Structure 1
Amino acid sequence: MMIRNATLSRRLMVPAVVLIVSSAAQAQPQIPDDAKIGGFAIGCQAYTFNRFTAFEAIEKTAQAGGKVIEFYPGQALSPEERDLKVGHDQPEAVIAKLKSKLDEHGLVAVNYGVVGVPNDEEGARKVFEFAKAMGMRAITTESVDAIDVLEQLAKEYDIAVAFHNHPSRPDNPDYKVWDPNYIAELVKDRDERLGACADTGHWARSGLNPVDCLKILKGRIISSHLKDLNEMGRSGHDVPYGTGVCDIAGVLDELKAQGFEGNISIEYEHDWENNVPGVAQCIGFVRGYTR
């Protein structure tokens, strides 16, 4: 059963936790200025192009005008080497091939996820080793059960951990990461490298106002899966920024006000076979952002 927007709006107006801390991004390597558009490091979550390979995702991100990319585990590497996959459990050769392709198209790999991280140091370390070898600044996950290991390795590797949100699951009350108050409480006493990957579209699918959610997580926004939807609720689908209900200008205003230094990943989950034009329109919106 869908949660009523009015109830959620009242809840967000008086958040359970509001964090006012130094930006988590300050602990991370800075994204080069030449990878920024409209003041933001913007590109794609490779899942936008999950009908294609990682090499094709790089090509399409560059074609749309993006400067950074976030990889996810399991995507086939290239049309010629579909047996190789992106991921922390793949041969080291995958890293060299990805880096070469990124250099060819002038892109910077910034994040890895959404990836499940095991609650044991040996297994979790493989994820961090992959991110380090790729020169990434953050890991995107929903593995809150592994938070102690994640915090330990975030400090050791100086790599941030961004907890991502999918939509709420009324049939599964144990799924809590959709709620920004839960994430804020989860990380409030943790190392500053731990924070949130703000998925604005999934917040809207949960009936939440994305700008209010960002305010709840002030100082802990590591990255964003920035989406605009044609309507609130679970049936909403991605549309170019500025044409939907997510108040993308307001989101950018809030990120700017918070001194956000992370990356924006466009995760355009619509028109799967031909979504480069929609992605390009999103990048164009950010390029024109002048506030």
Structure 2
Amino acid sequence: MRYAQLVLGPAGSGKSTYCATLQKHAADDKRTIDVVNLDPAAEYFDYQPLVDIRELIHIDDAMEDEDLRFGPNGGLIFCMEYLLENPEWLEEQLGEGDDDYLLFDCPGQIELYTHMTTVRQLVELLQRWNFQACVVFLLDAQFMIDGAKFLSGTMAALSVMVNVELPHVNVLSKMDLLSKTARNQLDSYLEPDPHSLLGEMETKSKWGVKYRRLTEAIGRIIEDYSLVRFYPLNVRDEENIADLLLTIDNVIQFGEDSDVKTRDFDYPDDDDEGGDT
């Protein structure tokens, strides 16, 4: 069995930083986690990718081609579709190892996950290649301190969950960048009350008053899907990183098929059993 995290989230949510952080944490723990860069527009990241989509196709190829002439968004979509049309390249790059653990650092174009089938097709390929996978959906912590942003981010995460159809872990990134006051409100960020946060929208804007029933309906959807639990990520806290990785490992059942150790300690010699005479 092989294992994978599909690291998704809006642009600027810290996906590449997350991948680099987990890779370094694993190396310090004598464990191997490799990263696959699937962002054809990436310019810089802090990890050495095992596979890099830019070796197959770069966004400039789609934007500068005389026949295509795509913009940035269209170019990203074209590159991802081109990758899926050439799955043998990706399969060859990934190899046929056993017990591989990969992070797929995906582009920040949210429509690739929310209403297109691109990522779902990628998931089907990975499952065919014996990968046990889950989605790690990153949101900047600032989305939890404002009702409107909370609504937008949570509904995006819900849309990804429904569209991709994989086990789903929501992560609040950039917790280390929050102010001291915001960090003191950590509990309300991790398990926010949608009605409380959405209620702020009702009292602060004419739109909120006019569409109160719609707001309440959205709040019920969020509660019904139990998608209002988030895991914090402070990239400067090794214990926090270890706890998050353990949670994700449990979700994808990493290590459950490992050989059981039959000897964890030294047995006493037969001569020692009788003691002194």
TM-score (normalised: structure 1): 0.33
Would you tell me which structure has more helix in proportion to its own residues? 2
**For the pair shown, which has the larger CA radius of gyration, 1 or 2?**
2
